[in-house]
Structure 1
């Protein structure tokens, strides 16, 4: 037949072999390509996971290092950049019962400010002041140096004396001359109506808060002995008539005074500069005075001990 070529048996066999091998090769190549692509994907995924794990570990290490950064102070104190984890309050730090409560004696009702004042400056404290004041006036009157017509005072007169002192402070007249305060022209009438100026000066000169004859048998190191007994009674009354809250503030106060005093302090940062320093523990919410501690300086020839602030806070807050 024209245009047609007769294939021999060898040619047919070659064609058959080529077609068979091509299909198998194509299948094998496709499987090989798929496996290679899968391998590439797995290697890429493993590389990505390794990269992510490295980045995560680096981030976690950085965060951990940020949490554990600490600083060392000059005095050896270690300060952390992050606060410590806060857990539940301990049992001994949980206040059970009522707080910010006024505790009154049975049958006592507060009607006026005088009733509240009498809770702290109670009858026993005033009676001691009356007794010691009369003893001092009699001692001076019995000496040959001075002869006065002294009339023994009582609790009502001492309370009136304290009232005049508080009134002068309220009127900001504590530095005003007594002659001006008792003047008919310039002074408030309450001073002249309460007692005479001469009697007021006698009480001011003879008022005493302890037995002066027994000072020699007391500890010589106690610079606060002339007023120690009355001061402790006031502190007892402060603590007895009030239940504070969970927060207590401790701070210092400078009571202005420029007279003769063995523990007078000079504090240039205070407005009055000179005076007697007293530490107070007060309720942080109501500002109620709970306890007080005067600063008496170094006792005798003793050296000043370090950690004064820590010792004061522990001592003044010990009842709470």
Structure 2
């Protein structure tokens, strides 16, 4: 009974229907006025279908059309901005030859055949030749500064020294006093078990990557002379261990440092502000460093620019 009464109440009488028709005719007569403000662009879209998007204004409708490739395209309210559900330039055509990566991606076969544990992985990055170079020049510097009391450093002790530096980073000891790391109460036992504090400070004092006497003349033309040979060997070794995937990023970074350095820079936009500026080429998927170049400042026209490792591999 309630449904029958409701349906009767919703029915329109003949007089009400005629009134609606008359109102529509009045609206059509008003639309013939030559006022350009009332001109509305017409689109052939079926508003009753689902192929439209309502914007923030309830009276505006942003249509969705399909281009020749049947990919939906979305327009802004003023139709000045166009969106697509597919990436720009994406199509079903074959990939261009220059964009196809060949060969093994990731860890190279050269590295796979030489790595069976973590120590061997580190030795591929810090090669035996590089270690011999550091040991040789460090012992020369130690004999000059300390004399007969100096104990020659060997490869085992150099590995222990490098391990302490890495472990200090793992423990996030930046800004912490070195002596506190060896403290019996507040320190960490692994530091005391690896090397005495006095020996660590002694090696840190005389650590060298070149012969100081030979590098003095080279510093006039090359600010990176104290570590140039070691640096180039390290950079040249990077692509031997890893083959990048299809996406590589090249960007600058600031290595925080406030000590004495002839190419120290100030970058107010960086969190650390002071440090050494470098350009790094890295694989986007794994963040592996493929190439590395340190910014040495503006080169003078009278000074020859040192050979760069970027692009040499």
Instruction: Give the equivalent residue in structure 1 for 2:97.
Output: 91
Aligned equivalents of 2:102 and 2:178: distance in 1? 51
Cα offset for 1:164? 0.5
Q: How does 1:98-177 map to 2 (within 5 A)?
A: 98-104=104-110, 107-112=113-118, 114-142=119-147, 149-177=149-177
Q: Cα distance 1:187–1:102, how it changes in 2: closer, same or farther (>3 A)?
A: same
Cα offset for 1:107? 4.8
Task: Extract unaligned runs of 5+ from structure 1.
Answer: 1-80, 143-147, 304-311
Q: Is the 8 A contact 1:221 1:300 kept in 2?
A: no
Aligned equivalents of 1:199 and 1:264: distance in 2? 29
Cα offset for 1:165? 0.8
Which has the higher mean CA deviation after the structures are superposed, 83-92 or 284-293? 83-92
Secondary structure, in 3 states, of the residue corresponding to 1:246? coil
Secondary structure, in 3 states, of the residue corresponding to 2:258? coil
Please identify the structure whose Cα radius of gyration is greater. 1
Q: Is the 8 A contact 2:210 2:227 kept in 1?
A: yes
Q: Is the 8 A contact 2:108 2:240 kept in 1?
A: no
Q: Cα distance 1:219–1:199, how it changes in 2: closer, same or farther (>3 A)?
A: closer
Aligned equivalents of 1:219 and 1:186: distance in 2? 42
Aligned length: 224
**Runs of 4+ residues deviating >6 angstroms:** 81-87
Secondary structure, in 3 states, of the residue corresponding to 1:119? helix
Cα offset for 1:215? 1.2
Query: RMSD in angstroms over aligned alpha carbons?
Result: 2.8
Aligned equivalents of 1:236 and 1:120: distance in 2? 10
Task: Extract unaligned runs of 5+ from structure 2.
Answer: 1-81
Q: Is the 8 A contact 1:133 1:207 kept in 2?
A: yes
User: What's the TM-score, normalizing by structure 2?
Assistant: 0.65
Superposed CA offset, 1:185-208 (max 9, x none): 110001110111111111011000
Aligned equivalents of 1:318 and 1:203: distance in 2? 34
Instruction: Give the equivalent residue in structure 2 for 1:272.
Output: 272
Q: Is the 8 A contact 1:281 1:316 kept in 2?
A: no
Matched, 1:253 2:263: no
Cα offset for 1:218? 2.9
Q: How does 1:219-238 map to 2 (within 5 A)?
A: 220-238=220-238
When you count helix as a share of all residues, which structure comes out higher? 1
Aligned equivalents of 2:230 and 2:202: distance in 1? 21
Instruction: Give the equivalent residue in structure 2 for 1:188.
Output: 188
Q: Cα distance 1:154–1:265, how it changes in 2: closer, same or farther (>3 A)?
A: same
Secondary structure, in 3 states, of the residue corresponding to 2:146? helix
Q: Is the 8 A contact 1:280 1:291 kept in 2?
A: yes
Superposed CA offset, 1:59-92 (max 9, x none): xxxxxxxxxxxxxxxxxxxxxx997898755434
Cα offset for 1:100? 2.1
Secondary structure, in 3 states, of the residue corresponding to 2:252? strand
Instruction: Give the equivalent residue in structure 2 for 1:205.
Output: 205
Aligned equivalents of 2:201 and 2:219: distance in 1? 31
